[in-house]
Structure 1
Amino acid sequence: MSGLNLDDFGSLVERPDAGVRRDAQDRWQRLVSPPGALGKPAELAEWLSAAQGRVPARPIARPRVLLFAGDHGVASLRVSAHEAGTAVALVRSVLDGGAPVNVLARQFGAQVRVIDMSLDCDPAELPADVTAHRVRRGSGRVDVEDALTVEEAELAFRAGMAIADEEADSGTDLVLLGDISVGGTTAAGILVAALCGTDASVVTGRGSGIDDLAWMRKCAAIRDGLRRARPVLGDQLELLAASGGADLAAMTGFLLQAAVRKLPVVLDGVVTAACALVAQRVAFRAPDWWLAGQASGEPGQAKALDRLSIEPLLDHGVRLGQGTGALLALPLLQAAAALAAELPDVSGEPVVERAPEPVREPVAVTSEEPPADPPREAADTP
């Protein structure tokens, strides 16, 4: 039985400050004529003001790309353009600084952090800070077995929470959330279809660029995974164990704790959208702390964002994943914050800032010690 009480998040997650948002809206009326002339940047500046608790919004000083990495057993069904168990090669490309996410991050002044939750490789192949939160090697084939045990799902969920605390405590002021996985969009499709009450064909996309035969295999895998997911829809931790994976469970925990810590997040593609959908079931106010960077063209992402009532900021057809879609939206947010901070307010109104509040954490997390990390030997066992 899990010792983590997800119901605590329902009361711990608050909405961004509505009063500060109204003050920001009033200020824009004084700054720009005609009203609404700056369109989306003004809306984003108001959102940032509410999230930061101050008017005008501060410039974005420390954006961070977080990439949760994992291999999924369902990839053995050839549902991805990448071979099963090869996500580590994608991770190495990012760590070497030569991936698209690195180019964009350098251009926009963001730092990149990779977190290995369940890569199918020897952890000694990667830096210790990357593998520090690993739960297991790979995951179960979700069409016929659970991705994780419930205990492993809780470990991953808690790891995501801990990472949210680390980022908030280090001064990160905006997170661009992505994934590096092989088979991850199939697991995400199961979660989206289960939580939206729809069929596999409605959420099955091309993912990494698969052909028609691979699409049919992927659709069949999501269909079979749905049969296993539906009986556990009432328990989100069991759902993540049955149909997600350690990377998806960690991202869900991260999103919820980031909302508790008032840390705004930009979602990338279908995998992060699926985790957001699970997190919404836990805490209905949490989506107010999230934006969607771009529309990837994945039907599962569109379905999830519609359910979350989140409209993507961009629609450039970028479906690479690895945080690239979220990163492409960063300049728009930076522009919004800069406009809010630097346009002169001729009225001389003072800065409005929310008083800092003590950090609150779920009772279940603070009332007992979290389970110890598994020994390295156990974590390396398939």
Structure 2
Amino acid sequence: MRDFAIGALSTQAMDACQLRIDNLTKPIYSLAQLEKIAASMAGIFNVEQPNHVKNGVIIFAGDTAVNGRQNLTGGKESLAVMKRLATGKSATHAVAAKLSAPVYLVDVGMEADTSSIDGIVTAKVKAGSDFFGMSPAMTAEETEAAIEVGAVWADRMHSEGIQVVAVGNVGERALLSALAVTAAVTEYPVRRLVVNNECTLTSDEKVERLTATLQRYSLSPEKPLQILASVGSPDIAALTGFILQAAAHRMAIVFDNAVTGAAVLLASLLRKGVTDYVFQSAAYDDPVHQGQMKYLGIKPYLFYHFTIEEGLGSAMGLSVVDASLHMLNDMKTFGEATVTVAEDGPGNKRQDGR
């Protein structure tokens, strides 16, 4: 696996950026998350006043537990989603177009063959992960190959000048892998993370079987690659590699649901400092996602009540990042607007009329 050397944020640029934010013609600290995002962008790009960044979107596709009893479609549903995305007329594409962000679709582990579909890049490492209740989801070699697929795409997007990227996923039963990865990384009680859905198993049965599976593989946060190979999936592995290499390139990464969140969890275990480069766009009403946010200490920006995958939540997050930079660059400071600064309250020590 690559080294993934991730540098620290520039505190000097962040401090200078925060000083400008504090002197914008508004009550100090009143724009909350927008202020934090702008300051973080300054630290990532090592620029006191970042502006006009180039955005991009990448979606990795892979199916989970293709040899399990829950696979009733043979990958047809995820194939239909990818075909629709390949037309370029999805909601994700509509959001991305407003920000002039290219959208890339990468098949790293779908059960179906996508090699003949225009608009989809086939980089298949495995035709879907195996059901981890019977055997490890992937071999160590397949896991590292999928990580490398993600890293290569981070290299490519960086070479194209993309600075902020939204990551997404497509895949059948993807939440199953996200659940197992999250339970292994956080070590939260499985019952706290189990999702009530249309699975034929009861909640008690799911808790019992997943707990037994984690114990059988002896999974722990100290062995993130083993977690990924045992209960992960090709798409989560590719997302993990992408996040790591994008952070190494000092790119900002916006993620959304529990599947992309599982990749962030693994990336955070593999390399320190990676979470400084990631931004959580959407809050989701499921315990897996909520457990991830608690473990990472991250608060999502907005609640869309999405049930769709396809990177839509992440693409929407690009708009929030864009808004934070407009705030930073389009608003005037007290000095620029020749407005009197605060004479009392919390702003009187930070606002100096510059």
Superposition TM-score tier, normalisation by shorter sequence: 0.7 to 0.9
AA aligned to 1:73 is A
Q: Which residue of the other structure, out of 308, 313, 326, is the alignment partner of 1:320? A: 308
1:214 is displaced (CA, Å) by 5.6
Do the aligned residues in 2 keep the contact of 1:292 with 1:312 (CA within 8 Å)?
yes
Q: Equivalents in 2 of 1:221, 1:117: separation in Å?
A: 28
Do the aligned residues in 2 keep the contact of 1:139 with 1:245 (CA within 8 Å)?
yes
Q: Which residue of the other structure, out of 121, 126, 136, is the alignment partner of 1:130? A: 121
Q: Equivalents in 1 of 2:217, 2:291: separation in Å?
A: 17
Do the aligned residues in 1 keep the contact of 2:6 with 2:248 (CA within 8 Å)?
yes
Q: Equivalents in 2 of 1:294, 1:204: separation in Å?
A: 20
Q: Equivalents in 2 of 1:325, 1:40: separation in Å?
A: 17
Residue 24 of structure 2 is matched in structure 1 by: 31
TM-score (norm 2): 0.87
Residue 77 of structure 1 is matched in structure 2 by: 69
Residue 345 of structure 2 is matched in structure 1 by: none
Do the aligned residues in 1 keep the contact of 2:166 with 2:317 (CA within 8 Å)?
no
Alignment deviations for residues 210-236 of structure 1 (CA, whole Å, 9 cap, x no partner): 337466475566445423443465332
Q: Which residue of the other structure, out of 168, 182, 188, is the alignment partner of 1:192? A: 182
AA aligned to 1:124 is S
Residue 264 of structure 1 is matched in structure 2 by: 252
1:63 is displaced (CA, Å) by 1.4
Tell me the secondary structure at the aligned position of residue 68 of structure 1: strand
Q: Which residue of the other structure, out of 285, 290, 298, is the alignment partner of 2:286? A: 298
Alignment deviations for residues 253-300 of structure 1 (CA, whole Å, 9 cap, x no partner): 111111111000011100111111111111121101001111111211
Aligned: 1:211 with 2:198: yes
Q: Equivalents in 2 of 1:141, 1:231: separation in Å?
A: 16
Q: Equivalents in 2 of 1:222, 1:104: separation in Å?
A: 37
Q: Equivalents in 2 of 1:146, 1:85: separation in Å?
A: 20
Aligned: 1:16 with 2:4: no
AA aligned to 2:6 is V
Q: Equivalents in 2 of 1:75, 1:199: separation in Å?
A: 27
Residue 57 of structure 1 is matched in structure 2 by: 50
Q: Equivalents in 1 of 2:319, 2:47: separation in Å?
A: 21
Q: Equivalents in 2 of 1:178, 1:107: separation in Å?
A: 18
Do the aligned residues in 1 keep the contact of 2:86 with 2:119 (CA within 8 Å)?
no
- Return 168-177 or 212-221, whichever deviates more: 212-221
Q: Equivalents in 2 of 1:346, 1:316: separation in Å?
A: 35
Q: Which residue of the other structure, out of 133, 139, 160, is the alignment partner of 1:143? A: 133
Aligned: 1:116 with 2:107: yes
Do the aligned residues in 1 keep the contact of 2:194 with 2:207 (CA within 8 Å)?
yes
Do the aligned residues in 1 keep the contact of 2:107 with 2:120 (CA within 8 Å)?
no
Do the aligned residues in 2 keep the contact of 1:67 with 1:177 (CA within 8 Å)?
yes
1:343 is displaced (CA, Å) by 2.7
Q: Which residue of the other structure, out of 87, 95, 103, is the alignment partner of 2:94? A: 103
Alignment length (residue pairs):
334
Tell me the secondary structure at the aligned position of residue 303 of structure 2: coil
Q: Which residue of the other structure, out of 28, 40, 45, is the alignment partner of 2:38? A: 45
Q: Equivalents in 1 of 2:198, 2:173: separation in Å?
A: 15
Residue 238 of structure 1 is matched in structure 2 by: 226
Gap regions ≥5 residues in structure 2: 337-354
Do the aligned residues in 2 keep the contact of 1:143 with 1:228 (CA within 8 Å)?
no
AA aligned to 1:92 is K
1:188 is displaced (CA, Å) by 0.8
Give the 3 Å change call, closer, same or farther, for CA 338–88 of structure 1 in structure 2.
same
Alignment deviations for residues 302-331 of structure 1 (CA, whole Å, 9 cap, x no partner): 111211111101112213121111122222
Tell me the secondary structure at the aligned position of residue 32 of structure 1: coil
Q: Equivalents in 2 of 1:245, 1:36: separation in Å?
A: 41
- Percent identical residues: 23
AA aligned to 1:298 is D
Greater fraction helix: 1
Aligned: 1:275 with 2:266: no
AA aligned to 1:211 is E
- Return 36-45 or 302-311, whichever deviates more: 36-45
Alignment deviations for residues 117-173 of structure 1 (CA, whole Å, 9 cap, x no partner): 011122433348610x21121221111111111011111111111111111111111
Give the 3 Å change call, closer, same or farther, for CA 176–128 of structure 1 in structure 2.
closer
Residue 352 of structure 1 is matched in structure 2 by: none
Residue 322 of structure 2 is matched in structure 1 by: 334
- Return 68-77 or 332-341, whichever deviates more: 68-77
Give the 3 Å change call, closer, same or farther, for CA 184–219 of structure 1 in structure 2.
farther
AA aligned to 1:294 is A
AA aligned to 2:266 is V
Do the aligned residues in 1 keep the contact of 2:219 with 2:226 (CA within 8 Å)?
no
AA aligned to 2:305 is G
Q: Equivalents in 1 of 2:121, 2:139: separation in Å?
A: 22
